[in-house]
Structure 1
């Protein structure tokens, strides 16, 4: 069983090393982003709604492109928080290049320390994007922190890959290959990254967790936030399984194959 320091230090070292690879990749296309291309996913923009004049914090923001996209969409202030110092430095550089430094700031801190790192501030929108929760072992602790950042009348919005994706087999995506209720970490030690599978990397050990939908919803409900909706989608943005077919930019099971939820989104508000 890994200790808290083990998983945190390993994951931070892995992400720190991959920041320059990601920043130079076609996947993130930072040159295009500086020219006005790139945005949050359309379904997220629709579900979050108009952010004009609102204060938004983005937890686990990586290099801040989604954070800055919300600023481009009219947010009065955006704050991105990530535990990787190199990622935060890239985000700050992007904000300066885009002329958004007056409305966008970035903080290097662990998400579990966000309340203190942000000085006890609260926000109209607390946003967490895809591929974030799997890096955290404790959903209850995360929910307490995230909820503490929601201002009266504000809400938390979460978009995530469905935890079922962690359990299904690669070939068909229809058979359970791992327990859905397993709370032990998945431990990986492989070079490369999702933007470049052939990248030569040294810090490859990392720990990830599967968080069942019930655990996430229950953790947020326990904080007093009101669950507004939970949406499940039968498509995703990546080739999670070999059987998935790309249709108009979305990956989904081919016709005739039983459909499974591949992503989900959730909104929880404070009265």
Structure 2
């Protein structure tokens, strides 16, 4: 782990709250057992059918047979192990929460994957180059809900790009930052500053997997990164952007008027559509 000073700064030079990393880690560590036992993650169902990837992800990433894949900020490792199930020769998941990594290792063993096929390591994403076992991977993958926990998107891009093998690529799927600027009821009005780089500090009990869970470590610090910031950060690393796609579906009821259709959360019929998720692929030539 890096030894950070008591106060660091974001790309925009806005202050990063003291203790942000420790607070976020304590929050996630406490929620791991809640998530392991939740219907949201449904680990028993996953053991029976180990594939939770979204259709657009598998279509955009393509065939992973025989390839190595690194999953940054992997949490319980469901997405990581889904890529192994789809034929990746070796998958590595990294997360800063030691309890999450232990849960992922247990799940991998339950599925019959040894560490030579599916390895999980504890480490800070900014220090991933030193934490993971190999110097580079055919695919570096980051899934939904990861970037908001990082204050410095340029440093993330530099680290992720450094781990992509020549001829490989980085694939990112993430919730669209536009949704954070809109009202939570209908998503029809702009009520927050899309371009704000300020840290967002929350103190909320429970978790998205169980709203009624009793929790103690409830303070979290998050950041919103614009689409331009993310793409520009990756472009500055020398990776070549192959595509940037926007999707009008979500994985959870982001707005109160959402309906579930075709297995996804969507706006009601007739409601103007906006991008809810984006995905991109950036190649190392």
Secondary structure of the equivalent of 2:270? coil
The worse-fitting range, judged by mean Cα deviation, of 249-258 and 181-190 is 249-258
Task: Tell me, in whole angstroms, the C-alpha distance in 2 between the residues paired with 1:65 and 1:13.
Answer: 21
Distance 1:115 1:4, change over 3 A: farther
Farther off after superposition, 51-60 or 231-240: 231-240
Which stretch has the larger CA shift, 221-230 or 163-172? 163-172
Which residue is 2:191 aligned to? 177
Correspondence list, 1:40-59, <5 A: 40-59=53-72
Query: Where does residue 34 of structure 1 map in the other structure?
Result: 47
- Counterpart of 1:86 in structure 2 is 99
Equivalent in 218, 240, 244 of residue 204 of structure 1: 218
Secondary structure of 2:19's counterpart equals helix
1:62 pairs with one of 62, 65, 75: 75
Distance 2:218 2:98 in 1: 18
Q: Is the 8 A contact 2:151 2:222 kept in 1?
A: yes
Q: Could you tell me which runs of 5 or more consecutive residues in structure 2 were left unpaired when the two chains were aligned.
A: 1-13
1:219 to 217, 230, 233: 233
Q: Which residue of 2 aligns with 1:97?
A: 110
Whether the aligned pair in 1 keeps the contact of 2:51 and 2:85 (CA below 8 Å) is no
Could you give the per-residue CA deviations for residues 42-92 of structure 1, whole angstroms, max 9, x where no partner exists? 111111000000000000000111101111111110000000000000011
* TM-fit CA distance, 1:254: 1.8
Looking at structure 1, the residues matched to 271 and 76 of structure 2 have their Cα atoms a distance apart, in angstroms, of: 37
- RMSD of aligned alpha carbons: 1.3
Q: Any stretches of 5+ residues in structure 1 without a counterpart?
A: none
**How do 1:69-148 residues align onto structure 2 when only pairs under 5 Å count?**
69-101=82-114, 102-118=116-132, 121-148=135-162
* Runs (4+) off by over 4 Å: 1-5
**Which residue number in structure 2 is paired with residue 258 of structure 1?**
272
What is the rounded CA distance, in whole Å, between the counterparts of 1:174 and 1:42 in structure 2?
Answer: 27
Cα offset, 1:39, TM superposition? 2.4
Partner SS for 1:70: helix
The aligned length equals 271
For residues 94-149 of structure 1, the C-alpha deviation after alignment (integer angstroms, 9 at most, x for no partner) is 11111111300001000000011125610000000000001111110000000000
Aligned twin of 2:4 = none
Partner of 1:144, secondary structure, is helix
1:242/1:136 CA distance change after superposition, 3 Å? same
The separation in 2 between residues aligned to 1:109 and 1:43, in whole angstroms, is 29
In structure 2, the partner of 1:11 is: 24
Determine helix, strand or coil for the equivalent of 1:232: strand
Instruction: For residue 15 of structure 1, report the CA deviation from its aligned partner.
Output: 0.1
What TM-score do the two structures reach when normalised by structure 2?
Answer: 0.92
